[in-house]
Structure 1
Amino acid sequence: MNISDIKIAKDTYWVGKIDNREVPFHRLILAKGTTYNSYLLKTGKPTVIDTVDMEFGREYADRMAELIDPLDIAYIVINHTEPDHSGGLAALAMRATNATIVCTEIAVPEIQEMYKLHSRNYLVVRDGDTLDIGGKTLLFKETPYLHTAETMITYCIEDKILYPCDIFSTHVAVEKLFSDEAGFDITEDFKGYYSAIIHPHRRYVRTLMEAVKDLEIDMIAPSHGFLIREDVRKYIDLYAELSRETTQGKKAAIVYTTIKNNTKKMAGILQATLQENGIEATVWDADKSDMNDIIESIEAADAVFIGSSTRYADMIGNLEPLLKELQLLNLKGKLAAAFGSYGWSGEAIEVIQDYLNGTNMTVQSTSDVIKSTGMTHVEFPIRVRFSPKEAEKTQKIKNAAEFVSDLLLSAI
């Protein structure tokens, strides 16, 4: 495919890279390969939107020079800093020395550190900001956690083209750039990409739906796979449908012991957050409740949270007999998480985690969250030093409860 021939709109060119290998990606193998889409808008202030994978950075910069003198590039928009989209930035920026990098505030230090671009000019954009690029106007919408915190989408007002980076993508090494020219229905590839990359962040699809609801979109130009210019609304609606909450009647059991009520407060925050998300949550003080009643609640629950304060490097109260009993039960299919407050090192929380790992429940861990979603703001076990009253600590607890809620309520 000759990049000089791929014009997707007036003064707008596809300048990406087709990778038709079996591509390792997010611990998957992309059997159909993938396409790294990048776009050049040759306006009065020439602008690049996203780049390609870092493996192809030099090739990308060389081919870009076929369409434009890199010194003429005024802006490079980075919607998402993951290297399969921003990876070509380093090579391009070495030549496009006059270009200002456009991104969200969170993205600036990431780009600076990843590509050693500390001395470059940055334009930080926020939700609803616009940028005149000389004949076209770009509108920016922040869409955090689709699928990392710094992500945004870009919309060209005059062309009615949405540049949503990972969102609305497909992992296909395309032979024809547009979905209507593919020769087959791309819906399953579209859904497959959503399931693998976006669905773990489905809570944030609501932000996306809000961001695009008033936009007149004639074309979706994502950063992987096919560009969509027919049945655009169908694909937007698919995201709304796939991310909806269809599972009802889910329950959680929250069991704790506490010294100064800090772990009790954590249990209350977990309960309130779960209930706000449609999960029926029951809280048990293990030192004041009958163990049989607690076990009955756990057996009826879909998610189980066990917490304790730490005293002398151990749990307190009646938790240990309960945890030993849980290891004898068949609790397969339930989600489990440890939590607790502490003043020094919080060993009790880790002891609970060890006990939970001895059951056949699916025990949540930070490692698994990162590997499955890339999220770094969700942490398991849930550890809070002293009181959970401070906003940052409260948010940590809420993040964990929301994550479990999303797992329970997933439509897929």
Structure 2
Amino acid sequence: MTLAQLRSFASQQATRADMSGLSAAALRLPCYSAPSQWKQCRASRVSISAAVVTSPPAPKLSKIVTWQPGKRLQTQVAEITSDITTIRSLDWDRDRFDIEFGLQNGTTYNSYIIDAEKLAVVDASHEKFRDLYLAALTDQIDPSTIQYIIVNHTEPDHSGLVPDLLQLAPNATVVGSKICIQFLQNLVLKPFKSLVVKGGDTLDLGKGHILEFVIAPNLHWPDTIFTYDRGAGVLFTCDAFGMHYCTEQVYDEDLSTIESHYRFYYDCLMRPNSRSVLTALKRVSGMEFGVIATGHGPLLTYNVAELMNKYETWSRQALEKQLATVAVLYISDYGFSDRLSQALARGLTKTNILVDMLDLNSADSQELIECVSRSSGVVLMTPPSSGSANSLVSTLYAAIKTKQPVVIAESYGGDDEPVDTIIQRFVDLGITLPQPPLRVKETPTEATYQQYEEAGTDLGQLLSQKKVIQSIKTNIPINIAKAIARVSGGLYVVTAKKGASRGAMIASWVSQVKL
């Protein structure tokens, strides 16, 4: 793109000015998102920052309401471009989230309106925001005229109000991945128009808003897609590139303040899926965008290059440091299987174990066989006692090898396949069960998630121990190796005799004190 074209785009997309007087529209020029070009792109955006000085209306905040004692809720409406508006649901005091990791500054749930010839809403909000969100939406548009509801990801904090949107706009078409639409059918519980999209599919909303869809599974649910608005230069990514950080600042102006939250969010939700992160980055590498419209926290525009580079760097480091791979088999949309499996995955990644998350609701037999074959161990979240996920476990019994340790964990879905039945099948196959099964007899609490995370760490340490010891032996200085060799190891019976008195003790180590 030439400088003249960049200036032209800036003039067309002007929507706001930043605190230093630079046009944010200029900062949101299309970003060449191939990693080697991110920095170059950002420099180009800044170099023409004086092209436009148009400023949009200031963000509009609703009144604060109390959801529970001490839990404040609020919505914020802000213009992103002349045709795109965000409704940010500000959950100021939420202190725990998802896999039960602690939050220091609450979180947000970001929804978007694309006001084109065909009106579209991208993602919704948490059902706790029903009144606030619908009031903000109705203030911006006539909900009955919505023609498309685009669902990038069906986790309840993004799709909880989809049934309400369909009630207001019964003729709207819901757009999502095949798995997404299947999940929503269980959520909405009545027929609705739907459009299943695959990677590369497009949807023309008019006024230059041509949406292109990118399949991005496991970021961090199996149904995730990204939605790219070519005309606006905006990439809607739902959970990816977000953070749990509640602030009135719509954008990522203050990198030093948000960077630790961005990293913590990545470590908790994205690092277990580092291979999927790199795949998604590759799929958007040819796209030009200047705004990442996230599902949580501030939108990214000032630091797109830096923050996308961090995802790539952290994910490559995770792959390089891996000591082994564990297949975590869970069942999306069943009980607490998805959340508990994420806690286990978090524990595994603490020991530099690479995690392969596989949803038994959407996987086929060949995918399962390939996933298990490249793994050193397996975590199985108990499936429901019937259905496709349960049937796929039979494939697991055939694919697993005796040297692969297995951890079995309950999902607390109300109809779990009995743990003892599963254990017996593995025992009959000669499979090692390195720890007792994880059982859940009530709604998971903070202690439950901690237990699952620690179980993941224990399995990771078991698998990584041999490689760590070998690495230490290889790199230890010769003099230290000789000294350690003089220290005996094992189990000993130490006897002593003095006159007629005799005694003995068992010792786990004996140290030589003289030659």
- Class of the TM-score when normalised by the shorter of the 2 chains: 0.5 to 0.7
In structure 1, C-alpha distance between the alignment counterparts of 2:84 and 2:372, rounded to whole Å: 51
Conservation of the 8 A alpha-carbon contact between 1:57 and 1:92: no
Q: 1:101 to 1:248 in 2, by over 3 A?
A: closer
Shift of 1:231: 2.5
Shift of 1:98: 2.2
Q: Secondary structure at the match of 1:138?
A: strand
Q: Secondary structure at the match of 1:37?
A: strand
Conservation of the 8 A alpha-carbon contact between 1:74 and 1:100: yes
Question: In structure 2, which of residues 217, 226, 230 is the aligned counterpart of residue 144 of structure 1?
Answer: 217
Q: 1:250 to 1:39 in 2, by over 3 A?
A: closer
Shift of 1:88: 1.7
Q: Which residue of 2 aligns with 1:348?
A: 427
In structure 2, C-alpha distance between the alignment counterparts of 1:239 and 1:344, rounded to whole Å: 38
In structure 2, C-alpha distance between the alignment counterparts of 1:249 and 1:61, rounded to whole Å: 46
Q: Which residue of 1 aligns with 2:94?
A: 22
Shift of 1:349: 5.4
Conservation of the 8 A alpha-carbon contact between 1:336 and 1:364: no
Q: 1:345 to 1:12 in 2, by over 3 A?
A: same
Question: In structure 2, which of residues 388, 402, 406 is the aligned counterpart of residue 337 of structure 1?
Answer: 406
Q: 1:24 to 1:218 in 2, by over 3 A?
A: same
Q: Which moved more, 1:84-93 or 1:156-165?
A: 84-93
Question: In structure 2, which of residues 418, 429, 435 is the aligned counterpart of residue 357 of structure 1?
Answer: 435
State the number of aligned residues.
300
Q: Which residue of 1 aligns with 2:178?
A: 105
Question: In structure 1, which of residues 44, 65, 88 is the aligned counterpart of residue 117 of structure 2?
Answer: 44
Shift of 1:274: 5.1
In structure 2, C-alpha distance between the alignment counterparts of 1:18 and 1:249, rounded to whole Å: 37
Shift of 1:219: 0.7
Conservation of the 8 A alpha-carbon contact between 2:148 and 2:173: yes
In structure 2, C-alpha distance between the alignment counterparts of 1:41 and 1:248, rounded to whole Å: 42
Q: Secondary structure at the match of 2:102?
A: strand
**2:284 counterpart letter in structure 1:** V
In the alignment, is residue 186 of structure 1 matched against residue 258 of structure 2? yes
Unaligned runs of 5+ in 2: 1-58, 62-75, 326-368, 377-399, 409-420, 469-515
Shift of 1:177: 0.6
Q: 1:124 to 1:307 in 2, by over 3 A?
A: closer
In the alignment, is residue 210 of structure 1 matched against residue 282 of structure 2? yes
Q: 1:34 to 1:350 in 2, by over 3 A?
A: farther
In structure 2, C-alpha distance between the alignment counterparts of 1:60 and 1:43, rounded to whole Å: 21
In the alignment, is residue 133 of structure 1 matched against residue 205 of structure 2? yes
- Which of these two proteins has the greater Rg computed from alpha carbons? 2
Conservation of the 8 A alpha-carbon contact between 2:60 and 2:78: yes
Q: 1:115 to 1:23 in 2, by over 3 A?
A: farther
Q: Which residue of 2 aligns with 1:273?
A: 374
In structure 2, C-alpha distance between the alignment counterparts of 1:137 and 1:187, rounded to whole Å: 32
Question: In structure 1, which of residues 226, 229, 234 is the aligned counterpart of residue 301 of structure 2?
Answer: 229
Q: Which residue of 2 aligns with 1:288?
A: none
Percent identity over paired residues:
28
Q: Which residue of 2 aligns with 1:241?
A: 313
In structure 2, C-alpha distance between the alignment counterparts of 1:189 and 1:225, rounded to whole Å: 9
In structure 2, C-alpha distance between the alignment counterparts of 1:11 and 1:40, rounded to whole Å: 8
Q: Secondary structure at the match of 2:140?
A: coil
Shift of 1:343: 13
Shift of 1:89: 1.1
In structure 2, C-alpha distance between the alignment counterparts of 1:184 and 1:344, rounded to whole Å: 49
In structure 2, C-alpha distance between the alignment counterparts of 1:113 and 1:357, rounded to whole Å: 35
Question: In structure 1, which of residues 72, 75, 80 is the aligned counterpart of residue 153 of structure 2?
Answer: 80
Alignment TM-score, normalising by the size of structure 2 = 0.52
Conservation of the 8 A alpha-carbon contact between 2:94 and 2:103: yes
Q: Which residue of 2 aligns with 1:315?
A: none
**2:300 counterpart letter in structure 1:** I
In structure 1, C-alpha distance between the alignment counterparts of 2:103 and 2:88, rounded to whole Å: 18
Q: Which residue of 2 aligns with 1:169?
A: 242
Shift of 1:249: 8.5
Q: Which residue of 2 aligns with 1:330?
A: none
* Per-residue CA distance 1:315-338 (angstroms, 9 max, x = gap): xxxx9xxxxxxxxxxxxxxx9437
Alignment TM-score, normalising by the size of structure 1 = 0.64
In structure 1, C-alpha distance between the alignment counterparts of 2:285 and 2:91, rounded to whole Å: 33
Conservation of the 8 A alpha-carbon contact between 1:217 and 1:232: no
In the alignment, is residue 53 of structure 1 matched against residue 126 of structure 2? yes
Conservation of the 8 A alpha-carbon contact between 1:104 and 1:125: yes
Q: Secondary structure at the match of 1:93?
A: helix
Conservation of the 8 A alpha-carbon contact between 2:252 and 2:303: no
Shift of 1:65: 0.6
Conservation of the 8 A alpha-carbon contact between 1:338 and 1:352: no
Q: Which residue of 1 aligns with 2:395?
A: none
Shift of 1:153: 0.4
* Per-residue CA distance 1:123-144 (angstroms, 9 max, x = gap): 1111000100121111100001
Q: 1:190 to 1:95 in 2, by over 3 A?
A: same
Conservation of the 8 A alpha-carbon contact between 1:145 and 1:151: yes
In structure 2, C-alpha distance between the alignment counterparts of 1:163 and 1:89, rounded to whole Å: 17
Unaligned runs of 5+ in 1: 253-267, 276-305, 309-318, 320-334, 375-379, 381-399
* Per-residue CA distance 1:102-141 (angstroms, 9 max, x = gap): 101111121111122x311001111000100121111100
